[in-house]
A and B are shown apart, each in its own frame.
Chain A
Amino acid sequence: MAKHKLLIVDDEIDFLEMLKLRLEANNYSVVTAMDGNEALEKFKTEKPAAVLLDILMPGMDGIDVLKKIRKENSKVPVFIITAFSNEERFKMANKLNASGFIVKTNDLQKEIQNITSAIAISEGFKGR
């Protein structure tokens, strides 16, 4: 099976590096972006199978990026990366049709299993 390409967006370079290693160990190929504009650009050029998006970034924050991504593509799974739960943001992300959350402090290996199944489901949609 061909490797799925993921776009990960976070303004913390150290976190990006850790997450990239973890995803590559799970047989994904990874493209990174450190801000909203770079993320949108790479979303268009790289056509990732899913996006992992930090919610709190300076400049254009994750919610705005998610809105713009949804305009381009309403189906691609987008996961919100967050350091803590914040009810309002969760509601907002749900309204914008996010596929789920990655809580930074949780066990990332477990969090990635959710991503894998979300991608499988969206592949299923494409097949029809």
Chain B
Amino acid sequence: MDNRDHTGSEKRHTAMGLFLTLLAIVFLTDILTNIITAIFHIPIILESVLGGFLVISIAYPALYLLIFKPLSVEIARRKRVEKMKDEFIGTVSHELRTPLSITKEGLSLVLDKIPGPLNEQQARILTVSKNNINRLSRIINDLLDISKIDAGKKVVRHEAFDIIPVIWQTMALFQARIRDKGLAFRSVLPKGAIVVRGDVDAIIQVLTNLIGNALKFTERGSIDISLKDTPEEIELSVHDTGVGISKEDMPKLFEKFQQFGRVNGPGEKGTGLGLAIAKGIITAHNGRIWAESEFGKGTKITFVLPKNKE
């Protein structure tokens, strides 16, 4: 969104207005001081006192009318818009999730044979339906995350946490699926705790998206996680030996809804939001994320996260 640019040009306008107002005030009080000193023969020593008095009595109302009042009106308006945006996101997510959860539970009840027996074909059809309901709820969650990122509301916590167990836990969630595909899954992590400050759920989401991609786009070989620790930041990479990304596609990689060479087979097709979300989250932590890839050989995605020590 171009919100930030607006703020930038408005700030410049405000600064210019302030400068001109101050110039006018100095000019005006100087003239007034001279006139009053001339008319009433005020001694030189008192001239600066008079000047000061005039500056205050002119400057305050002028500044109030020209700057503070419009500024506070503008701030109030922005706050209202922000609040409406938040409420919109909240309402949409509630309104969409309720019918989804009802449908999902309906399918689960039948699949769990609670109303009665089920033949194999019925079970298969309902399983496919349920998988796609789950897919729909993931897409809704991703879309909501993207709009939260745009509104600057995705990364909300800034708490200290040890990143090492977070990596282990996320890896554990993928272990079985990666093994089933016959891929090696390794990690090189420093010994001991590494404390960073940030939103732990959001960081887990980044890791999940990166490892999920590596799994999705790798048919043979390995997936390696490595972590470099420096006093100020950590550098984490997910390196796979999969299909890779061509040079032409590289610049669009972290953009929304960009997908190249969709994978066939039973896996999920995805939406092309995973890397855009990852980038949004890392950027909100004042970090960086980038990709290196050789087409047909593999991909390495790396992010740097400042430790943000207090």
Contact = CB atoms under 8 A, between A and B. Distances in A.
Interface of A: 12, 14-15, 18-19, 21-22, 25, 56, 83-84, 86-87, 104-105, 107-109
A9 B108 CA distance: 21
A18 B90 contact: no
Given A87-B156, A105-B137, A107-B108, A21 B114 contact: yes
6 contacts: A25-B112, A83-B97, A83-B101, A87-B156, A104-B98, A105-B97
A105 B102 CA distance: 8
Contacts of B105: 15, 18-19, 22, 108
A14 to B, nearest CB: 5
B100 interface: yes
Contact of B94 (A18, A84, A107, A109): A84
Contacts, number: 46
B204 to A, nearest CB: 14
Which of B108, B115, B156 has the largest number of chain A CB atoms within 10 A?
A: B108
A26 to B, nearest CB: 10
Nearest to A25: B114
A112 to B, nearest CB: 11
Contacts of B165: none
Nearest to A24: B114
B109 A22 contact: yes
Nearest to A10: B98
A18 B106 contact: yes
Nearest to A105: B101
Interface string B147-190: 00000000010000000000000000000000000000000000
Nearest to A16: B102
A19 B114 CA distance: 12
Nearest to A54: B98
A15 B98 CA distance: 8
B151 to A, nearest CB: 15
B104 interface: yes
A12 B98 contact: yes
Nearest to B100: A105
B209 interface: no
Nearest to A104: B101
B109 A56 contact: no
A57 to B, nearest CB: 12
Contacts of A14: 102
Given A83-B98, A84-B94, A84-B97, A18 B109 contact: yes
B283 interface: no
Query: Nearest 8 pairs between A and B by C-beta?
Result: A104-B101, A18-B105, A83-B97, A25-B114, A105-B101, A14-B102, A83-B94, A15-B102
Contacts of B101: 15, 83, 104-105
Nearest to B201: A85
A84 to B, nearest CB: 5
Contacts of B222: none
Contact of A109 (B90, B106, B112, B156): B112
A109 B105 CA distance: 9
